[in-house]
Amino acid sequence: MQKTVKPIRTGEEYIESLKGRDLKVYLFGELVKEPVSHPMIRPSINAVAKTYDLAVEEEELAFPKSSISGERVNRFLHIAESAEDLVLQNKMQRKLGQLTGTCFQRCVGMDAMNSLHSTTFEIDEKHGTKYHQRLLEFIKMVQHENLVIGGAMTDVKGDRSLAPSEQEDPDLFLHIVDRDDKGVYVTGAKAHQTGTINSHWMIVMPTMRLLENDKDYAIVGALPVDAPGITYIYGRQSCDTRSMEPGDIDVGNSEFGGQETMVIFDRVFIPNEMIFMDGEYEFASMLVERFTCYHRRSYVCKTGLGDVLIGAAAAIAEYNGVPKVSHIKDKIIEMTHLNESIYAAGIAASYQGHKMKSGVFLNDDMLANVCKHNVTRLPYELARLAQDVAGGILVTLPSEAEFRSAETGPLLEKYLKGKSGIEVENRMRILRLIENMTMGRNAVGYLTESMHGAGSPQAQRIQIARQMQLGYKKQLAKNLAKVKEDPEEMKENSEYFKRVFKIPEK
């Protein structure tokens, strides 16, 4: 298990805390001896380290005081105590996207803890369990030690037409396989797990609505990421082996990167004090919906990456000598418009946050889904426009090795020159950054993750459809058209208006 001698404060201290752990990580079919030292893994660790350094550099933004521990804590470990806390989460996420140009991997854990705060409270309210107090003790511990929490929700799922308990292989959803008086043992697998081996603890959760026959799958618990029985299989990313080559130009964003793994659980033990749901299947959908409400709004992080991409497009236009050409200017304006449209929906969802029974604040669900639905589309258009501005050299640029060669280097210096006074190497670096973000390693964190993270586009459309309130909107039209209406329906729509817009009773 992870042992922390003193609370982690800086990014450097965080990196040190990851060394020497007993993690079972496979990459290219081989066991990785020390993930911290592996050139393909280290950029993702650097991205998480930035979340610590930001808390040191900008305390008001990223280091609030917690009423749970009484200490100032990293905002990724903070339970939102106001709508302003939700807003500051978004502002922090955009800032980190600007600083890293990639996924910094801590939003899942933050959103998991916040959604569990209200869900465990309501489970206890119905069943008389003690999950909420257990959760508070866990939060107090991780806040004090300043640890990274990963969230594990997405099961591998098998046959999507069947419930977890109906699968031919029961292990296709994480489930309890045994228990004793000290806790439970779980087996299964979680796919597409962000930053898991860069975390200290992991919270496992169900991935969908469950029925009574699925009680063994209704398990939520926290466990160290190096717990016995866990195997990590590292996910491939486009152009990922470039980080193992000499030099740094061809990587594009050499310092930072994202991380996705498949996590295999083989009779992994979760002690009773770390269990926050055990068989209360009827609350699985509540947890999933509240988690996705937080997490779909958290995708404003992509606007920070968008800021970087817009800057790269503007830089390459300047290097090419065309920053004032009308169609180039118009494309960069359009990129900015699309990026701010994503941010507007996410930040509005936070500003319209409301207090739950447990005291935690939850953002607006409709606007969160609109934010994420924008994210499934607009970054792809930003990427297309950046590639358009960059030109065809983006995908035909020779390697850094050619640039460093005594034979070919001088030729590239001569023929890849752009605007006078601009170093050819700088032009190459910006081109590689655009390639990296739109086609390479960090395209996973900017594009593919934008499409499928926190649920596929159809998942957001389902939630939007559930909250369209067509009855209320039809009433608006009928009122103006002076259409006669059923009094009970009119009353119901009026009550909805007061609830949504928070109009107090006279």
CA pair distance 1, 271, nearest whole angstrom: 13
Mean pLDDT, range 438-464, rounded to an integer: 93
Is 107 tagged catalytic? yes
Is 260 tagged catalytic? yes
User: CB-based burial of residue 324 (10 Å sphere; 0-12 exposed, 13-18 middle, 19+ buried)?
Assistant: exposed
User: Active site residue: 14, 103, 281, 371, which one?
Assistant: 103
The predicted pLDDT at position 500 comes to 60
Q: Is the model's pLDDT at 76 over the cut of 70?
A: yes
The predicted pLDDT at position 267 comes to 98
Q: Indicate the residue type of 264.
A: I
Q: How does pLDDT run across 341-362, given as a tens digit for each residue?
A: 999 999 999 999 999 999 999 9
Q: Which residue has the tokens 């962000």?
A: 194
Mean pLDDT, range 249-260, rounded to an integer: 97
* Bridge partners of residue 149, in order along the sequence: 201
Q: Is the model's pLDDT at 2 over the cut of 60?
A: no
Q: Indicate the residue type of 75.
A: R
What are the distances in angstroms from CA 319 to CA 327, 422, 425?
A: 16, 6, 11
User: Active site residue: 217, 299, 319, 446, which one?
Assistant: 299
Q: Indicate the residue type of 262.
A: M
CA pair distance 85, 112, nearest whole angstrom: 16
Q: Among candidates 283, 1, 2, which has minimal Cα distance to 131?
A: 283
Cβ–Cβ under 8 Å, residues 472 and 496:
yes
User: Helix (H, G, I), strand (E, B), or coil: what is residue 317?
Assistant: helix
Task: State the number of CA atoms in the 13 A half-sphere of 95 facing the CB.
Answer: 17
Please state which of the ranges 225-234, 421-430, 497-506 shows the lowest mean pLDDT.
497-506
What domains does the chain contain, in order, with CATH numbers? 11-284 (2.40.110.10), 297-466 (1.20.140.10), 470-500 (no CATH)
The predicted pLDDT at position 139 comes to 98
User: Active site residue: 194, 196, 261, 292, which one?
Assistant: 194
CA pair distance 292, 449, nearest whole angstrom: 14
Q: How does pLDDT run across 95-118, given as a tens digit for each residue?
A: 999 999 999 999 999 999 999 999
CA pair distance 143, 136, nearest whole angstrom: 10
Q: Is the model's pLDDT at 1 over the cut of 90?
A: no
Q: Which two tokens stand for residue 61?
A: 């933004």
Q: Which two tokens stand for residue 500?
A: 């949504």
Is 103 tagged catalytic? yes
Cβ–Cβ under 8 Å, residues 255 and 46:
yes
Q: Indicate the residue type of 493.
A: N
Q: Is the model's pLDDT at 502 over the cut of 90?
A: no
User: Active site residue: 38, 192, 295, 373, which one?
Assistant: 295
Cβ–Cβ under 8 Å, residues 168 and 217:
no
Q: How does pLDDT run across 361-390, given as a tens digit for each residue?
A: 999 999 999 999 999 999 999 999 999 999
Cβ–Cβ under 8 Å, residues 345 and 378:
no
Mean pLDDT, range 36-43, rounded to an integer: 98
The predicted pLDDT at position 5 comes to 59
User: Active site residue: 38, 52, 100, 107, which one?
Assistant: 107
Cα 258 from chain centroid (whole Å): 10
Q: How does pLDDT run across 274-295, given as a tens digit for each residue?
A: 999 999 999 999 999 999 999 9
User: Helix (H, G, I), strand (E, B), or coil: what is residue 183?
Assistant: strand
Residue 167 confidence class, pLDDT cut points 50, 70, 90: very high
Q: Among candidates 288, 270, 269, 277, which has minimal Cα distance to 129?
A: 277
Is 295 tagged catalytic? yes
Cβ–Cβ under 8 Å, residues 87 and 352:
no
Cα 450 from chain centroid (whole Å): 9
Q: Is the model's pLDDT at 89 over the cut of 70?
A: yes
Mean pLDDT, range 143-165, rounded to an integer: 97
For residue 40, the surrounding DSSP H or E stretch is none
CA pair distance 93, 78, nearest whole angstrom: 14
Neighbours of 301 (CB within 10 A): 31
CA pair distance 366, 363, nearest whole angstrom: 9
CA pair distance 32, 162, nearest whole angstrom: 36
CA pair distance 14, 48, nearest whole angstrom: 9
Backbone phi, psi, residue 179, to 5°: -155, 155
Cβ–Cβ under 8 Å, residues 222 and 274:
yes
Is 273 tagged catalytic? no
CA pair distance 419, 7, nearest whole angstrom: 50
User: Active site residue: 122, 145, 435, 449, which one?
Assistant: 449
Report H helices in 352-423: 365-375, 378-390, 400-404, 409-415
CA pair distance 486, 506, nearest whole angstrom: 24
Is 299 tagged catalytic? yes
What are the distances in angstroms from CA 491 to CA 234, 477, 486, 499, 502?
A: 55, 15, 9, 12, 16
Q: Is the model's pLDDT at 323 over the cut of 80?
A: yes
Q: Which residue has the tokens 């990014």?
A: 11
The predicted pLDDT at position 11 comes to 98
User: Active site residue: 52, 131, 232, 260, which one?
Assistant: 260
Q: Among candidates 21, 91, 92, which has minimal Cα distance to 54?
A: 92
